[in-house]
Amino acid sequence: MPTTRVPPILTVQQHILQEQKRFPGASGEFSWLLSGITLATKLIQAKVRRAGLSDILGDQGAVNVQGEVQQKLDVFANEVLAQCLSVRESVGVLASEENENPILVHGGSEKANYAVVFDPLDGSSNIDVNVSVGTTFSILRRPEGASLDDHERWVLQPGTKQIAAGYVVYGSSTILVYSVGDGVHGFTLDPAVGAYILSHPNMKMPAQGKYYSVNEAYRDSFPPRYAAYIDQLRNGGLGHPYASRYIGSMVADFHRTLLKGGVFLYPPTTDNPAGKLRLLYEANPVAFLAEQAGGLATDGERRVLDIPPDSIHQRTPLVVGSRTEMEAFEACR
Ligand code: P6P
């Protein structure tokens, strides 16, 4: 009698509990922390899906620490992440793109062992034109000997110290992608039941793709190496001519790169000589996932995950993608 293999239905909470076993003695606090993130992103996606209906479109009028006009959804997303995470006793410090300084949430609890760094709504300038946006997050363990109030020390750690990282892309569907260092796993939100269901187990970035993703409007201000590399891709230098895809939301551009392979770049430019993307809550989470999925991520000179952060909102150039494209970039000096 042939046996049929029944595909499992697994929610992200069940998956986290399974992954939890990788953290001996974590006593469920880690899965409890991650459940705060998943809850927050369900609340955010509910607003994103109704952005045009609930008078939440348009800007909040305020300007955030980055000097960017805050969209109302940015503010909402930032607040709801802080609210969902601050009730987790295991969380000591939050750092957000929307806040100049870290937020202390531990209330003095010695059980506070984790810092969560996040961009609540990446790509928010796309909100009003109904283009995909996303949330990114990075989870760090409290450094040995760090006091409860030494909050910068909790978050200013290189990407190699991340114990988990992930993103949610609010696109044609809402997909959560995360890793705790044991592969990359994707979950699609079933809005009918409000659960993230395992849809992309053990994601692997193809060894080579057919897309490169960069804002070519800035081409003339890239260092020469980047223009030469893009020409190599376009002219079939890696075996076939590449097509260009650029959404302008890092999470969406990276998600495509993770699924289809290829390369995403945000090089240094005249306006942003250190790159535009933020190390702690944009580059590090995607670099962690890329490496877990068999890809690579560099700032042009070194591995992104090795960069020692000096400040919370530090920028970095980012080149992230499939092994073939990344090895070609490395050779393109
Ligand atoms: P540009 C969105 O504002 C963001 O931070 C990333 O999500 C995105 O990749 C980048 O900026 C887009 O920047 O300069 O191409 O508009």
Are residues 284 and 179 part of one domain? no
Residue 154 pairs with which residues in a beta bridge? none
Alpha-carbon distance of 285 to 139, in angstroms, equals 9
Residue 104 lies in a domain: yes
- Cite the DSSP H helix spans in the chain: 12-20, 29-48, 72-86, 151-155, 224-234, 250-260, 284-292, 323-331
Are residues 140 and 19 part of one domain? yes
**What's residue 171's pLDDT?**
93
Residues in the chain with pLDDT < 70? 22-27, 54-62, 68-71, 106, 108
**Nearest C-alpha to atom 2 of ligand 1 is from which residue?**
123
Residue 135 CB–ligand 1 contact under 6 Å: no
Retrieve residue 15's tokens. Answer: 């998956």
Last residue of a domain, one of 200, 220, 245: 200
Note whether 176 and 168 are within 8 A (CB).
yes
Residue 185, Ramachandran bin (φ over 0: left; ψ between -120 and 50: alpha; else beta):
beta
Retrieve residue 14's tokens. Answer: 């069940």
CA quadruple 269, 273, 276, 280: dihedral, nearest 10: 150
Are residues 174 and 30 part of one domain? yes
Alpha-carbon distance of 123 to 102, in angstroms, equals 21
Alpha-carbon distance of 166 to 67, in angstroms, equals 25
Residue 242 lies in a domain: yes
Alpha-carbon distance of 298 to 193, in angstroms, equals 39
Ligand 1 probe mutation, 121, 266, 271, most atoms within 8 A of CB? 266
Are residues 153 and 36 part of one domain? yes
Nearest to 54 by CA among 127, 135, 118: 127
Are residues 179 and 241 part of one domain? no
**Nearest C-alpha to atom 13 of ligand 1 is from which residue?**
248
What is the number of helices (H) and of strands (E) in the chain?
8, 15
Amino acid symbol at 312: I
Residue 100 lies in a domain: yes
Are residues 145 and 89 part of one domain? yes
Last residue of a domain, one of 174, 200, 226: 200
Alpha-carbon distance of 18 to 14, in angstroms, equals 6
Quote the domain boundaries for residue 69: 12-200
Are residues 135 and 49 part of one domain? yes
Residue 2 lies in a domain: no
What CATH number did the domain enclosing 43 receive?
A: 3.30.540.10
Are residues 124 and 80 part of one domain? yes
**What's residue 106's pLDDT?**
66
Phi then psi for residue 321, to 5 deg, are 170, -160
**What's residue 28's pLDDT?**
73
Ligand 1 probe mutation, 129, 167, 250, most atoms within 8 A of CB? 250
Residue 205 lies in a domain: no
Nearest atom (ligand 1) to Cα of 217:
15
Are residues 224 and 82 part of one domain? no
Alpha-carbon distance of 121 to 126, in angstroms, equals 10
Q: How many structural domains comprise the chain?
A: 2
Q: How far is the CA of 215 from the centre of ligand 1 (A)?
A: 9
Residue 125 CB–ligand 1 contact under 6 Å: yes
**What's residue 214's pLDDT?**
98
What CATH number did the domain enclosing 234 receive?
A: 3.40.190.80
Q: How far is the CA of 253 from the centre of ligand 1 (A)?
A: 10
- 10 Å Cβ neighbour count for 245? 18
**What's residue 23's pLDDT?**
65
CA atoms within 13 A on the CB side of 148: 13
Residue 140 pairs with which residues in a beta bridge? 115, 162
Residue 308 lies in a domain: yes
Residue 3 lies in a domain: no
Are residues 189 and 164 part of one domain? yes
Residue 306 lies in a domain: yes
Last residue of a domain, one of 148, 171, 200: 200
Are residues 170 and 285 part of one domain? no
Separation in Å, CA 274 to CA 114, 188, 231, 267, 315: 28, 34, 22, 8, 6
